[in-house]
Amino acid sequence: MHELFVTEDFLARDTGLAAAAHDRGVPVSPVTDRAMAGLAETVTPQGVVAVCDLVDRPVADVLAGTPRLVAVLVGVSDPGNAGTVIRVADAAGADAVILAGDAVDPHNGKCVRASTGSVFHVPIARAPVADVLAACRAAGLRLVAADGYAKAELTPGTVTGPTAWLFGSEAHGLPEEVKSAADESLRVPIYGHAESLNLATAATVCLYATAWRHRV
């Protein structure tokens, strides 16, 4: 963290954030409500904004060691969806989240808010799709595409080893060339009358299905 901007109202109700920043040598700058509205990019800002380092790292760094569960977002452009999947991946104990190809910037304000802090917990990387797939294979991960039209269904015990789940955009899904490059394509079964699942819900099912198997 490099600097903290706060309103008078925030300082009046702050339980220690400003003091903690001071203790670490981080400048705390008071701003007006109008200035905060411009900085926060939200309708009802909370009265505090921080300037921090970028969170993304090289793909090789986030896949170092022996990763067992990775979420790959291929061309996911909606920041709310991306942030929510980052949050889910964090909760499921994923080793990394990689945004591949023409995907949203993880530093997008809506993406950061949707992650509810998980952008600071789980390692995040960005890279071209081909580089991401090659790096995941080199790290010993099996590439599994989440595809609503796949012939095979995701069932308990289907995905057990080190896995990189590939998720596409909610509107268009995964490109054909990505599905072809995957080791396997699976769909989340729908037993009721819903037409489909949104990206975050499908990612939750897929990531937890693998996470549970890793912990059995």
In the predicted model, what is the mean pLDDT of residues 153-159?
90
Q: What's the length of the chain?
A: 216
pLDDT digits (tens, 9 = 90+) for 119-151: 999 999 999 999 999 999 999 999 999 999 999
pLDDT digits (tens, 9 = 90+) for 180-195: 999 999 999 999 999 9
Q: Are residues 199 and 143 in the same domain?
A: yes
Range of the domain at 37: 3-51
Q: How far is CA 124 from CA 11, 58, 187, 192, 198, in A?
A: 32, 8, 25, 35, 22
What's the pLDDT tens digit per position in 96-120? 999 999 999 999 989 999 999 999 9
Q: Which of 51, 72, 87 is the last residue of a domain?
A: 51
Do 35 and 70 belong together in one domain? no
Q: State residue 41's pLDDT score.
A: 82
Q: Are residues 145 and 198 in the same domain?
A: yes
Same domain (yes/no): 8, 71: no
| 43 and 73 housed in the same domain | no
Question: Taking the CA of residue 26 as centre, how many other CA atoms within 13 Å lie in the half-sphere pointing to its CB?
Answer: 19
The Cα 152–Cα 142 span in angstroms is 16
44 plus 70 within the same structural domain = no
Number of domains in the chain: 2
Assess whether pLDDT exceeds 80 at residue 177. yes
Residues 46 and 78 in one domain: no
Write out the two tokens for 30.
Answer: 């008071």
CATH code, domain with 65: 3.40.1280.10
User: Residue 216: is its pLDDT beyond 80?
Assistant: no
